[in-house]
Structure 1
Amino acid sequence: MRRNERSIIYTVAFVAVLSLCAVAWGLGGELLLVDRFGPPTDPGGLPHGWTSLTFRKIPAKTRYTVIQEGNNYIVKAESHGSASGLYKALDLDPKVYQIISWRWKVDNILAKGDARRKEGDDYPARVYVAFQYDARNATLWERTSYGAYKLIYGEYPPRHVLNYIWDNRLPKGTAIDNAYTDRAKMIAVESGAEHVGRWVLEDRNLYADYKRLFGAEPPRIAGIALMTDTDNTGESAVAYYDDIVLRSVEGGGR
């Protein structure tokens, strides 16, 4: 079977699976396929619609490529003492798209990782949801600092971020502040080596997570990022990401 024929078959099959899931979840609302990572124009390039998320003080970048696994296409992340991510900008109402689901797999966990300390703030895999800054609900200090950032970079940074992480030591389900800022929350949806080397399907209620951890109604969703980083520990990690979906609350979620 030729490659383009396999791609068409996989697309049809995936849409059919989504349709069946919508019935199973009882969705009368919205379902948005953020990405299933089909082949880009350049097979070695970034997935279509995603941009590199880099950090000025970290010269080593994680390598992200779209690869084929059977008839499926996935994102492979390779980090060697590096840190960068993939970011997809969105503008969505979290009251509508309350549930996020995705599949991921890691080849290893990080021996030195520790989400409670800056020196250990590394993860073989993380999916994070960024929420928009809203000047109408900001303090004077926030309006000043965010305004200065926009003058330099041309846009506001996110107000808050939910990080769904594959951790090495936090008990599964634990949520803590990021070691650098309380504007980012770290939620251990996987922990330890039990599922290393296997695909795991995750399902989270991002709307409920935000309200519980930030104590307020969430602003609009600004974007979703994927990130495999090992710059603080100096270790290496390989991870894989696939099938990111946002859907309405009828489907449940933890």
Structure 2
Amino acid sequence: MGIGLSSSAPKEADLVVGNFRAGSLKGWKEKSFKNTTVYKLVKGDKEMVLMADSNDSASGLYREITVDLAKKPCLTWSWKVDRVLEGLDETTKSGDDFPVRVYVIFSGGVFFWKTRALNYVWSNGLPKGSAWKNAHTMSSINISVQSGLEKVGQWTQQTRNVRRDFKRFFGSDVKQADAVAIMTDTDNSGSRAIAFYGDISFSSKC
């Protein structure tokens, strides 16, 4: 399997959250839900990327970082998958598996029940542009930014205006994000998926 290149090289003024091309996982911590997805930095053609190998597992990496969305609302990242997980109803708990996810988390502070999350996913079957409440928690919205087989095996770059998405799906404005997470999970389908993540950053322009 050719790893190839990610294409989301951050600009100097960007807030870099995931600096994988530099071979760094500084600041990232692991959270496991069932078994352990293996995350490791691997060498692409010209740069390092983060590989995720999930085998009947659900664990992710997260980084707590304050993001001023008034100044840098635009999230950019790249990813690549080796397959999609066909035949799942992604709107249900039993079908809540994705080969790649990128979360943006908004802390409720001491009011933990007010914590919200936007969960950008490569959907297995739902069309690109679909959005639905996560089956496990009403405080997280799944947003399909890539779907189906068309781009499997290819690097794709994604950019989202996070502040705009929050207002659209939660109905209020937000000026700060508090963490970013990634996850490749296959625990509900009991299957395996291998995926790759490029650098993750926030910028002023989408």
Asked if TM exceeds 0.5, the reply is yes
Structure 2: gaps of 5 or more residues: 1-8
Deviations 1:193-238 (A, max 9, x none): 1000000000101100000000011252111011000111111111
**SS of equivalent to 2:58:** coil
Question: Moved runs in structure 1, 4+ residues, more than 2 A?
Answer: none
CA contact (8 A) 1:131 1:219 kept: no
User: Normalized per residue, which structure has more helix?
Assistant: 1
Q: Which residue of 2 aligns with 1:88?
A: 63
CA distance in 2, matches of 1:165, 1:209: 14
For the pair shown, which has the larger CA radius of gyration, 1 or 2? Answer: 1
CA distance in 1, matches of 2:87, 2:114: 28
**1:39 and 2:39 equivalent?**
no
- How far has the Cα of 1:170 moved from its partner? 0.8
TM-score, normalised via structure 2 length: 0.90
Deviations 1:100-125 (A, max 9, x none): 00010000000233221110000000
User: Normalized per residue, which structure has more strand?
Assistant: 2
Cα RMSD (Å) of the superposition? 1.7
Q: Structure 2: which amino acid aligns with 1:50?
A: W
- How far has the Cα of 1:71 moved from its partner? 2.0
Flag the 1:223–1:106 CA change in 2: closer, same or farther, 3 A: same
Identity %: 39
Q: Structure 1: which amino acid aligns with 2:161?
A: N
- How far has the Cα of 1:70 moved from its partner? 1.6
TM-score, normalised via structure 1 length: 0.73
- How far has the Cα of 1:182 moved from its partner? 1.5
**SS of equivalent to 1:195:** coil
User: Which of the residues 99, 103, 114 maps onto 2:74?
Assistant: 99
User: Which of the residues 235, 243, 247 maps onto 2:203?
Assistant: 247
Q: Structure 1: which amino acid aligns with 2:29?
A: T
Q: Which residue of 2 aligns with 1:185?
A: 141
Flag the 1:134–1:51 CA change in 2: closer, same or farther, 3 A: closer
